[in-house]
Amino acid sequence: MTASSQSGAARGSSSPPAGAADASATPADYYADLVEQLFSEYESALSLSRIVTVVNQCRHDLAGSPATAMPELLDRLARCRLSALAEEATEQR
């Protein structure tokens, strides 16, 4: 086996990085999956409607971003904002 075929084999066996969107997923699929994942993480502090509102606002704020970067950017921005809101909600209890 040559060095180039070995590196190709190693690449083929690796998993995509965490947060990487499935190439076959549509924006609507990714959006639904993200909301579901965020709800499972923040449901103890935030309502589903609040999470959906934050994700929608993030999508609006990122509207000029490249489509290929949108899944990761949306995930990061939404998590940042939801973390701050969850922290505020916890402090108020």
Q: What is the pLDDT along the chain (93 residues), one digit of tens a residue?
A: 444 444 444 434 333 334 454 556 688 889 999 999 999 999 999 999 999 999 999 999 999 999 999 999 999 999 999 999 999 988 887
pTM value > 0.75: no
Here the tokens at position 8 are 């190709």
Instruction: State the pLDDT at residue 60.
Output: 96
* Other C-beta atoms lying within 10 Å of the C-beta of residue 41: 15
Contact assessment for residue 46 and residue 82, using Cβ atoms and an 8 Å cutoff? yes
